[in-house]
Structure 1
Amino acid sequence: MAGPLVHDPIRRGGPERLVLALGSNLGERHASLTEAVDRIRAIPGVFVRAVSPFVETVAVRTTGPDTDAPAYLNGVLVGHTYLEPHRLLDATAAIEDELGRVRTERWGDRTIDIDIIEVGRRRVSDERLILPHPRAAERDFVLAPWLAVEPDATLTGHGRVADLLAGLESGSPA
């Protein structure tokens, strides 16, 4: 008699392009980001191609920029994955938990934040995950580091990352 069917979280076929954004504004920010990258590299089915330099940025709250809050270090990781998006979300949330992330306030201070920006050109929208990331096109702290490692990058449904960033810097949409 065969055993129970087990869902294989690793997709069949070739890997899909992966873009993750990382941020930290509490504790040893650089060490937290570096440890998060190391742990992402260790996820079976995830292959890291490049990690941007980390840039310091002002904290953003639901009400807008907050210069009184601790500044963030932000970066972007690009690579490929065989994981389905929700399985990847579970893996990155586990890394956040292991590195001491506490979720008490939406867009609050945190030791580590790992956002999935894109998995392939997938479009996902449910209670747990929206892809592509719904605010990535509006965040210079995602776009600038991403552009540093992928000069020809495009954000699904929004266009070239370089154009999106230029639009933010000029104060008008790209």
Structure 2
Amino acid sequence: MSVRVYIGLGSNLAEPAEQLRSALDALDKAEGTRLAAVSGFYASDSLLPGQPRYTNAVAALDTTLEPLQLLDALQAIENDQGRVRQERWGPRTLDLDVLLFGQQLLDSPRLTVPHYHMHARPFVLYPLAELVPADFVLADGRSLAQLLAACPFSGLERL
């Protein structure tokens, strides 16, 4: 039985929009996953000064994988696209984050769902809002409408 999951995509190195397109293709071809929908692409400032702007999107996937299996598949795609994990907030060719995994709440050393910072990231919330109903409620009880109201669109540019 498949579960609908939402993945945040981001890149600020090596042709970011092309990195996202390649990642979407890889997500659709990964064993146990099927790409269901993709938001528009957005440009956003880096969380740290001095880094190139990011290109971001959110993808909806249907998967039969367990959460940590999906995380492993995402990290393999990142690695295949040249991701080097030198520093936590450094520039990157590709960043894939599990934002939501059905209506599951997860809190493990490797994976927290809903994603622990998504409530404060317009580059996640606004693309996600393109893919879910207006009355969408996260597994932790927060509504997407509430999160959007508390997180202005500022700093984003729809590409």
TM-score (normalizing by structure 1): 0.83
Determine which of 26, 31, 41 is the counterpart of 1:39: 26
Partner secondary structure for residue 47 of structure 2: strand
- Of 147-156 and 49-58, more deviation after overlay is shown by 147-156
Residue 72 of structure 1 is aligned with which of 54, 59, 64? 54
1:27 aligns with 2:27: no
Q: CA deviation at 1:129?
A: 1.1
Q: Secondary structure, in 3 states, of the residue corresponding to 1:93?
A: helix
Contact 2:122 2:153 in 1 (8 A): no
Whole-Å separation in 2 of the counterparts to 1:94 and 1:72? 21
Equivalent of 1:119, from 101, 104, 113?
101
**More displaced stretch, 120-129 vs 47-56:** 120-129
Q: Which has the higher contact order (CA 8 A, sep 6+)?
A: 2
Q: 2: distance between equivalents of 1:123 and 1:150?
A: 18
Counterpart of 2:73 (choices 91, 94, 97) is 91
Listed as ranges, the matches of 1:1-174 within 5 Å are 14-61=1-48, 66=49, 68-152=50-134, 153-169=136-152
Q: Answer whether contact 1:151 1:162 (CA < 8 A) is retained.
A: no
Would the aligned equivalents of 1:49 and 1:79 in 2 still touch at CA under 8 Å? yes
Larger Rg belongs to = 1
**Alpha-carbon separation, structure 2, partners of 1:79 and 1:144:** 17
Task: Assess, with a 3 A threshold, how the Cα gap between structure 1 residues 92 and 144 changes in structure 2: closer, same or farther.
Answer: same
Between the aligned residues of both structures, percent identity stands at 38
CA shift for structure 1 position 124 = 1.7
For the residues of structure 2 that align with 1:76 and 1:109, how far apart are their CA atoms? 19
- Unaligned 5+ segments in structure 1 are 1-13
Task: Identify unmatched segments of 5+ residues in structure 2.
Answer: 155-159
- Alpha-carbon distance in structure 1 between the residues aligned to 2:153 and 2:11: 26
